[in-house]
């Protein structure tokens, strides 16, 4: 009889394990230019913080837009939107000329477009969204403001870049940023220290990574692993 009770208990525990694993907050990380392996590295750091993380290269915007709904953390590293110096920002570019945009006033870059403004309460569980792209925190009169729209839809923290960032410094910043978050720094501290880490790599200088902007609870940490507050 005792043996049966032990066996039942063991079976119960085994059945509970996958459920516990799948309960870990989800993250998705995207490399969408020559930015590999930043998405993978971010995924490794997030996994160390007990998130259920995944990464991909050259995903389509439709995939990212759909997965965003289930994310605690969303990280994009790729191209930002640029028409001219007066109309830049408000969008991030995925594969096959597909874009995630904050909004539109009738300007439509690329072939497939998905709008943050079209979400209802879908992304209210997002804890942190990071858009590592040129002008990703800049307001564009044509396509809106990615950070503001993401926050309007309920994300807790959103980070983007007002200026121009290039691939190598973006890689440096990303590697350092996620590593520092993993080590328990706040989002604001990790972003700031990551920019100084990049200054010391050649060639000397910030090269745009100092133009990061954070909306929301910038003094939060990513640990313990969790979804955002709504």
* Binding footprint of other proteins on the chain (CB under 8 A): 33-35, 77-84, 88, 91, 93, 97, 109-110, 132-134, 137, 147, 162, 164-170, 188-189, 191-193, 196, 199-207, 210-216, 218
Residue the block writes with tokens 């594969």 = 95
Q: Which CB atom, from 123 or from 151, has the smaller least distance to other proteins?
A: 151
Q: Which CB atom, from 26 or from 134, has the smaller least distance to other proteins?
A: 134
Q: Which CB atom, from 33 or from 36, has the smaller least distance to other proteins?
A: 33
Contact 51, 78 (CB under 8 A): no
What the block records as the tokens of 167 is 């691939």
Contact 147, 123 (CB under 8 A): no
Compute the least distance from the CB of residue 58 to other proteins, in Å. 14
Compute the least distance from the CB of residue 214 to other proteins, in Å. 4
Q: Which CB atom, from 33 or from 67, has the smaller least distance to other proteins?
A: 33
Q: Which CB atom, from 14 or from 200, has the smaller least distance to other proteins?
A: 200
Q: Which CB atom, from 26 or from 133, has the smaller least distance to other proteins?
A: 133
Compute the least distance from the CB of residue 22 to other proteins, in Å. 33
d(CA 99, CA 109): 8
Compute the least distance from the CB of residue 5 to other proteins, in Å. 49
Helix axes 38-48, 167-182, angle to 10 degrees: 0
Q: 215 - beta bridge partners? A: 158
Q: Which residues of 25-50 are buried (b: 16+ CB within 10 A; e: fewer)?
A: bbbbbbbbbebebbbebbbebbbbbe
Q: Environment class of residue 3 by beta-carbon count within 10 Å: exposed (0-12), middle (13-18) or buried (19+)?
A: exposed
d(CA 51, CA 41): 13
Compute the least distance from the CB of residue 15 to other proteins, in Å. 41
d(CA 188, CA 196): 13
Compute the least distance from the CB of residue 92 to other proteins, in Å. 9
């Amino acid at each position: 009889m005792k043996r049966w009770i032990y066996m039942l208990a063991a079976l119960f525990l085994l059945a509970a394990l996958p459920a516990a694993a799948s309960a870990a907050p989800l993250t998705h990380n995207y490399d969408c230019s020559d930015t590999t392996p930043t998405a993978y590295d971010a995924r490794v750091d997030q996994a160390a913080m007990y998130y259920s993380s995944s990464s991909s290269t050259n995903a389509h915007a439709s995939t990212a837009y759909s997965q965003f709904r289930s994310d605690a953390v969303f990280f994009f590293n790729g191209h930002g939107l640029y028409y001219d110096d007066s109309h830049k920002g408000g969008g991030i570019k995925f594969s096959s000329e597909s874009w995630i945009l904050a909004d539109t006033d009738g300007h439509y870059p690329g072939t497939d477009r998905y709008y943050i403004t079209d979400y209802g309460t879908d992304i209210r569980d997002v804890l942190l969204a990071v858009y590592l792209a040129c002008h990703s925190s800049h307001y564009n009169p044509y396509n809106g403001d990615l950070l503001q729209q993401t926050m309007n839809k309920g994300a807790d923290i959103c980070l983007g870049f007002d200026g121009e960032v290039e691939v190598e410094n973006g890689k440096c910043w990303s590697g350092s940023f996620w590593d520092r978050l993993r080590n328990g720094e706040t989002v604001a501290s990790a972003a700031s220290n990551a920019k100084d880490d990049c200054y010391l790599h050649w060639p000397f200088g910030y090269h745009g990574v100092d133009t990061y902007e954070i909306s929301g609870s910038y003094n939060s940490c990513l640990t313990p692993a969790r979804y955002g507050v709504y």
